[in-house]
C-alpha cells in the first residue's frame, strides 16, 4: 500500500515537515510504503478556473497537459495510484498555506471528472503557533471529503508552539496513531470492491 505525504510549508525541515515525518514513519512501521513531497520543490500554477467556463473545460488532461503542463501532472498520477494521502500544512492566517490551497484547488479536475480520488484514505497535519490549526484542518477535511476521501478515526494531528514537537506527547501520539490507522483503513478497503460514486 502506497501513501503520499504532501508538505505545504516552504520550510522543508519545519514543524509541519517534522510532524508529517512522524506520521509517515508510523505508516512505514505499519507496513505501508511512503513518498513525501515538499510543494515548494515542485512549482505548480494556480487553478485557471476552467470549471467556471461555459461550457466547463475542467478535466485532468486540460489541467495538466499542453500549455498548462506543470508538476501537477505527476501529482495527479501519484495520488491516483496511491492508497492514501497525508495533507500537511502550516497554519497561515487561521487557515492552510497558499501552497496547500493551490495544490488542493488543482485536484478539482480529478473531482470534476467523476470523483476520481474517491475511496482513498486521507490524514491531516497542521503546525501553528497560536490559533487556527483546527480551522486549517477542518477546511482540508471539508474539501477532501467532498472529493471522496475516507478518514480513519482521529484523522489529524497538530502542533502548537515554538518548541520541539517531540515535547508535545499528544501531537506525537496522534501522529503515530494516524499513520497506523491510515494503513489499517486502507487494508480494510483493499479487501472490498466498492463503487463509491
Ligand atoms: C504568513 C504566516 C501566517 C501565520 N499565521 C498563523 C496563524 O494564523 N495561526 C498560528 O497559530 N500561527 C501562524 N503562523 C505561524 C506558523 O504557523 C508557525 O510558525 C508554524 O510552525 C510554521 O510551520 P513550519 O515550521 O512548518 O514552516 C503564521 C506564520 C506565517 C509565516
> Given strand 2-7, what is the order of strands in its sheet?
33-38, 2-7, 84-90, 121-128, 156-160
**Would you tell me which CATH number, out of the four given (3.30.1490.100, 3.40.50.1100, 3.40.50.11290, 3.40.50.360), belongs to the domain 2-46+79-98+118-190?**
3.40.50.360
Q: Across residues 133-159, what is the average pLDDT? A: 98
Task: Write the residue with the smallest CA distance to atom 20 of ligand 1.
Answer: 128
Q: Does residue 58 have a pLDDT over 90?
A: yes
Ligand 1 centroid, distance to 28 Cα (angstroms):
28
Nearest-atom index, ligand 1, CA of 94: 8
pLDDT computed for residue 68 by the predictor: 86
Ligand 1 first shell, C-beta below 6 A: 9, 11, 14-17, 90-94, 127-132
Q: Does residue 25 have a pLDDT over 90?
A: yes
pLDDT computed for residue 67 by the predictor: 87
Going by C-beta distance under 8 Å and a sequence separation of 6 or more, which residues neighbour residue 182? 3, 23, 27, 30, 32, 84, 86, 121, 123, 152
The Cα 182–Cα 150 span in angstroms is: 9
Q: Across residues 18-30, what is the average pLDDT? A: 98
* Model confidence, pTM: 0.98
Crossing angle for the helix pair 98-105 and 133-147, to the nearest 10 degrees? 10
Give the percent of the chain with pLDDT over 70. Answer: 100
Q: Cell 499528544 sits at which residue?
A: 170
Nearest-atom index, ligand 1, CA of 90: 23
- To the nearest whole number, what is the mean pLDDT of the chain? 97
pLDDT computed for residue 157 by the predictor: 98
User: Which of 128, 133, 163 maximizes ligand 1 atoms within 8 Å of its Cβ, making it the mutation to test the pocket?
Assistant: 128
User: Which of 8, 14, 129 maximizes ligand 1 atoms within 8 Å of its Cβ, making it the mutation to test the pocket?
Assistant: 129
Task: Write the residue with the smallest CA distance to atom 22 of ligand 1.
Answer: 90
Domain spans of the chain? Answer: 2-46+79-98+118-190
| Residue 88 three-state SS | strand
Tell how far CA 87 is from the center of its chain: 2
Q: Kindly report, residue by residue over 67-110, the tens digit of the pLDDT.
A: 889 999 999 999 999 999 999 999 999 999 999 999 999 999 99
Nearest-atom index, ligand 1, CA of 161: 21
Ligand 1 centroid, distance to 91 Cα (angstroms):
5
Q: Across residues 43-63, what is the average pLDDT? A: 95
Ligand 1 centroid, distance to 176 Cα (angstroms):
23
Amino acid at each position: 500500500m502506497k501513501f503520499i505525504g504532501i508538505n505545504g510549508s516552504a520550510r522543508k525541515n519545519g514543524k509541519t515537515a517534522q510532524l508529517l515525518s512522524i506520521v509517515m514513519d508510523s505508516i512505514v512501521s505499519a507496513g505501508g510504503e511512503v513518498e513525501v513531497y515538499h510543494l515548494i520543490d515542485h512549482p505548480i500554477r494556480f487553478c485557471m478556473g476552467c470549471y467556471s467556463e461555459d461550457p466547463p473545460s475542467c478535466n485532468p488532461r486540460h489541467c495538466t497537459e499542453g500549455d498548462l503542463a506543470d508538476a501537477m501532472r505527476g501529482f495527479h498520477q501519484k495520488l491516483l495510484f496511491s492508497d492514501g494521502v497525508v495533507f500537511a500544512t502550516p497554519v497561515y492566517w487561521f487557515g492552510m498555506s497558499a501552497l496547500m490551497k493551490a495544490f488542493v484547488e488543482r485536484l478539482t479536475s480529478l473531482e470534476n471528472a467523476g470523483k476520481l480520488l474517491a475511496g482513498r484514505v486521507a490524514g491531516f497535519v497542521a503546525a501553528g503557533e497560536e490559533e487556527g490549526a483546527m480551522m486549517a484542518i477542518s477546511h482540508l477535511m471539508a474539501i477532501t471529503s467532498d472529493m471522496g476521501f475516507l478518514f480513519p478515526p482521529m484523522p489529524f494531528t497538530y502542533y502548537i508552539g515554538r518548541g520541539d514537537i517531540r515535547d508535545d506527547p499528544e501531537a506525537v501520539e496522534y501522529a503515530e496513531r494516524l499513520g497506523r490507522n491510515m494503513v489499517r483503513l486502507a487494508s480494510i478497503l483493499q479487501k472490498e470492491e466498492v463503487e463509491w460514486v
